[in-house]
């Protein structure tokens, strides 16, 4: 019998998931198109591997098990699965066609809407993925400044200029790798010390889980301006979540360029690059950035419907309020169980993350155990609370009940000194993506 969302479940039956996975292993390399959805991030032997349906905040796997989903498709689900206002817009457009031989008026409509809600949107460019717009922003910044070097902080997609600085950099020429440098978030002095006349662009996620120190983003903007470096905000996670206009609106600071995707179309593939008209003007001349599916109309219709809904329903405020219930509720339960020395939920309310302290033990084993026990109780859990408008108060109340149960299991495991013996499946894999421990390269090491 498939699991429902209840505390008394057995571990879910994942027979169909595993059968499909066996087929996948024979034909797909890699089996997943999105690392964070793949089997390395969901404990093999316990977690489902394939989802087939979603409604609101709930999803169903291929074996029929139901879960509350806090992953929100790794960001795109901002309103909810199968959200009527967006799906109706897609259906209406579908009646007329998907992709055309000339431009579509929705491209203009979406750009005008983006201009209304995104603070730096003097001009708008539409693309398909987050990596597309990150790379387009870097290219236009290099063209505008006549410089090559890039400073970055966060994750910016799979393209050469960024992935070259990670541990998954095979296949990327050294000459490309040598042009990108990382910097330490919130460390304005080291950034100022390293910025020089070769730096075209500084790109960062305005925040991930750590809040910016007061004035950090403003000082960064100033330092970039003084150095002739373009500041790029990667707002994949912050855009349309922390505020409609993203971190620029929330912290009252403007970047020269900003990039968005994920939340803006409730699941459809589309991305936006916004920025200064004088910089973006280069896309009309020497900078090339075009793609066949750029004007695909279902995504345009979905994006317009999503942004309107996010604005009309004041969704960022909803995410903040409901996310706070979950984050604060988790931390209170940890305190009441004497677990606060081992675990905390951190981050902004719209997107928080459960963490473990070094005293608790091996973080990956602990995360695997927590995931196993949450999945058993009907919660698809990967350590994050990516809030969406369809997460109800009942979802949150239930999730906190589950946390109270699960944290007791985790406590017992920590005190036993052998967390691994509590695991029914495989330990999760580490991701290459790092959000701290980046080292800024000193000026002398550059180029
Ligand atoms: C902050 C950030 N930038 C860029 C990207 C790349 O976006 P995409 O995977 O759509 O290419 C991601 C994806 O997770 C992201 O989180």
pLDDT in tens, 375-420: 999 999 999 999 999 999 999 999 999 999 999 999 999 999 999 9
Q: Is 238 in the pocket of ligand 1 (CB under 6 A)?
A: no
Q: What is the chain's mean pLDDT, rounded?
A: 95
Q: What is the mean pLDDT of residues 319-346?
A: 98
Q: How far is the CA of 336 from the centre of ligand 1 (A)?
A: 37
**Which amino acid residue places its CA nearest to atom 10 of ligand 1?**
130
Helices 393-416 and 363-376 pack at an angle, to 10 degrees, of 130
Q: Which CA distances in Å does 396 have to 57, 59, 145?
A: 11, 15, 48
Which ligand 1 atom sits nearest the alpha carbon of residue 131? 11
Domain with CATH 3.90.1150.10 in the chain: 15-69+315-416
Which ligand 1 atom sits nearest the alpha carbon of residue 262? 10
Which of 34, 38, 131, 204 for mutating ligand 1's site (highest number of atoms within 8 Å of CB)?
131
Domain with CATH 3.40.640.10 in the chain: 84-312
Q: How far is the CA of 236 from the centre of ligand 1 (A)?
A: 6
C-alpha–C-alpha distance, residues 177 and 203, integer Å: 16
How confident is the model at residue 64, as a pLDDT? 98
Q: Is residue 133 over pLDDT 70?
A: yes
β-pairing, 199-204 with 180-182? Answer: unpaired
Helices 297-312 and 84-96 pack at an angle, to 10 degrees, of 150
Q: How far is the CA of 155 from the centre of ligand 1 (A)?
A: 7
C-alpha–C-alpha distance, residues 133 and 275, integer Å: 12
Q: What is the mean pLDDT of residues 57-68?
A: 98
Q: Are 244 and 310 in contact (CB under 8 A)?
A: yes
Q: Are 111 and 305 in contact (CB under 8 A)?
A: no
How confident is the model at residue 229, as a pLDDT? 98
Whose CA is closest to 379, among 7, 41, 1, 2?
Answer: 7
- The tokens describing 235, both together, are 């707002």
pLDDT in tens, 165-219: 988 899 999 999 999 999 999 999 999 999 999 999 999 999 999 999 999 999 9
| Interacting residues of 193 by C-beta distance below 8 A, sequence separation 6+ | 442, 443
Q: Is-above-0.75 flag for pTM? A: yes
Q: How far is the CA of 130 from the centre of ligand 1 (A)?
A: 5
Query: Model confidence at 374, in pLDDT bands (50, 70, 90)?
Result: very high
Q: Is residue 62 over pLDDT 60?
A: yes
How confident is the model at residue 230, as a pLDDT? 98
Q: What is the mean pLDDT of residues 350-375?
A: 97
| Interacting residues of 302 by C-beta distance below 8 A, sequence separation 6+ | 86, 89, 90, 265, 266, 267, 268, 270
Q: Is 205 in the pocket of ligand 1 (CB under 6 A)?
A: yes
CATH architecture of 84-312: 3-Layer(aba) Sandwich (3.40)
How confident is the model at residue 440, as a pLDDT? 53
- The tokens describing 429, both together, are 């894999």
Q: Are 14 and 48 in contact (CB under 8 A)?
A: yes
How confident is the model at residue 435, as a pLDDT? 41
DSSP calls for 300-329: HHHHHHHHHHHHHTTHHHHHHHHHHHHHHH
Query: Model confidence at 431, in pLDDT bands (50, 70, 90)?
Result: confident
**Quick one: 19 exposed, middle or buried, by C-beta within 10 A (0-12, 13-18, 19+)?**
middle
Angle at 439 between CA 438 and CA 443, to 5 degrees: 145
C-alpha–C-alpha distance, residues 138 and 251, integer Å: 23
Would you say how long the chain is, in residues?
Answer: 447
- The tokens describing 233, both together, are 């905000």
**Residue 15 main-chain phi, psi, to 5 deg:** -55, -50
pLDDT in tens, 259-307: 999 999 999 999 999 999 999 999 999 999 999 999 999 999 999 999 9
Q: How far is the CA of 95 from the centre of ligand 1 (A)?
A: 31
Cα R_g (the chain), whole angstroms: 22
**Which amino acid residue places its CA nearest to atom 8 of ligand 1?**
130
Which CATH number is associated with domain 15-69+315-416?
A: 3.90.1150.10
How confident is the model at residue 167, as a pLDDT? 87
C-alpha–C-alpha distance, residues 262 and 246, integer Å: 12
């Amino acid at each position: 019998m498939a699991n429902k969302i209840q505390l008394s479940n057995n571990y879910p039956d994942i027979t169909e998931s595993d059968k499909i996975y066996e087929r996948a292993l024979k034909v797909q390399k890699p089996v997943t198109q999105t690392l964070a959805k793949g089997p390395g991030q969901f404990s093999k032997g316990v977690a489902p591997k394939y989802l087939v349906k979603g409604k609101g905040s709930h999803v169903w796997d291929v074996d029929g098990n139901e879960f509350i989903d806090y992953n929100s498709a790794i960001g795109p689900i901002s309103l909810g699965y199968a959200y009527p206002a967006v799906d109706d817009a897609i259906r209406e457009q579908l009646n007329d066609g998907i992709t055309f031989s000339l431009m579509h008026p929705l491209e203009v409509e979406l750009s005008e809407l983006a201009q209304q809600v995104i603070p730096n949107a003097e001009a708008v460019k539409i693309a398909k993925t987050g990596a597309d717009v990150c790379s387009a922003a870097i290219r236009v910044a290099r063209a505008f400044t006549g410089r090559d070097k890039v400073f970055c902080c966060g994750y910016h997609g799979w393209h050469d200029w960024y992935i070259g600085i990670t541990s998954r950099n095979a296949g990327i020429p050294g000459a490309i790798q040598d042009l990108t440098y990382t910097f330490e978030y919130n460390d304005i002095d080291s950034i100022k010390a390293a910025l020089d006349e070769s730096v075209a662009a500084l790109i960062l996620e305005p925040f991930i889980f750590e809040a910016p120190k007061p004035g950090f983003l403003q000082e960064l903007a100033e330092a970039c301006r003084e150095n002739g470096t373009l500041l790029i905000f990667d707002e994949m996670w912050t855009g349309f979540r922390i505020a409609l206009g993203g971190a620029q609106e929330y912290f009252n600071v403007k970047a020269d360029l900003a990039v968005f995707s994920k939340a803006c179309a409730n699941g459809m593939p589309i991305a936006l690059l916004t920025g200064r008209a004088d910089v973006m003007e280069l896309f009309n001349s020497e900078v090339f950035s075009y793609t066949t599916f750029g004007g695909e109309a279902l995504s345009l219709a979905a994006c317009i419907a999503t942004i309107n809904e996010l604005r009309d329903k004041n969704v960022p405020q909803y995410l903040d309020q409901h996310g706070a219930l979950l984050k604060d509720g988790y931390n209170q339960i940890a305190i009441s169980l004497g677990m606060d020395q081992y675990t905390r939920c951190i981050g902004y309310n719209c997107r928080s993350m459960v963490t473990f302290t070094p005293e608790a033990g091996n973080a990956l084993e602990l995360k695997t155990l927590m995931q196993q026990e949450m999945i058993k109780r009907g919660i698809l859990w990967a350590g994050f609370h990516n809030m969406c408008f369809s997460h109800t108060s009942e979802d949150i109340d239930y999730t906190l009940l589950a946390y109270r149960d699960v944290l007791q299991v985790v406590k017992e495991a920590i005190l036993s000194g052998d967390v691994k013996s509590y695991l029914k499946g495989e330990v999760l894999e580490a991701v290459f993506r790092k959000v701290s421990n980046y080292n800024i390269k000193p000026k002398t090491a550059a180029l």
